[in-house]
Amino acid sequence: MELMALEEADRAAFMADAGLKELASGRIIRACYEVLGLHTFFTHVSDKLRAWTVVGGSSAKTAAGKIHTDMERGFIRAEVTHFEDLRACGSLKEARARGKMRMEGKDYVVRDGDVITFHFTR
């Protein structure tokens, strides 16, 4: 609680001095996701990255349905890269140019950290 009361720069310095890499809340959330078998995938629209949660083992079609049922019903394909690849490339356009994007079908199993662009019909 005391850490959260500190300014961001002071908090970072305190954590570094104490050998802490993250707040306890981050560890608790990660542990809960692991116990519940949840995965996070991201969508990127208009320079905004949004996180979505699915049960591990969910298909791309099911993940599309988390965003909107029409996307699941009209699912065509998913364009997928991993968050770390997107971060290294700097943009989806650059990830495509470097061959880090791939097309996946409805049976693709979403992995934790995937960045997905869904293609669907209305």
Chain CA centroid to CA 95, Å = 16
**Prediction pTM value:** 0.80
Q: Are residues 94 and 43 in the same domain?
A: yes
Q: Closest Cα partner for 29 from 20, 17, 42, 38?
A: 38
DSSP secondary structure string for all residues of 79-95? EEEEHHHHHHHSSHHHH
Query: Which residue intervals of 1-122 are DSSP H helices?
Result: 2-5, 8-18, 24-36, 60-67, 69-73, 83-89, 92-97
Q: Are residues 120 and 87 in the same domain?
A: yes
Tokens of 85: 């690849």
23-38 pLDDT tens trace: 888 889 999 999 999 9
Q: How many CA atoms lie within 13 A of 95 on its CB side?
A: 22
Q: Are residues 76 and 64 in the same domain?
A: yes
Q: Are residues 79 and 54 in the same domain?
A: yes
Q: Are residues 11 and 48 in the same domain?
A: no
54-112 pLDDT tens trace: 999 999 999 999 999 999 999 999 999 999 999 999 888 999 999 999 999 999 999 99
Q: Are residues 19 and 44 in the same domain?
A: no
CATH number of the domain to which 112 belongs? 3.10.20.30
Q: Are residues 70 and 122 in the same domain?
A: yes
For tokens 């083992």, the residue is 57
Q: Are residues 95 and 76 in the same domain?
A: yes
Q: Are residues 15 and 52 in the same domain?
A: no
Chain CA centroid to CA 111, Å = 9
Residue 41 belongs to domain spanning: 37-122
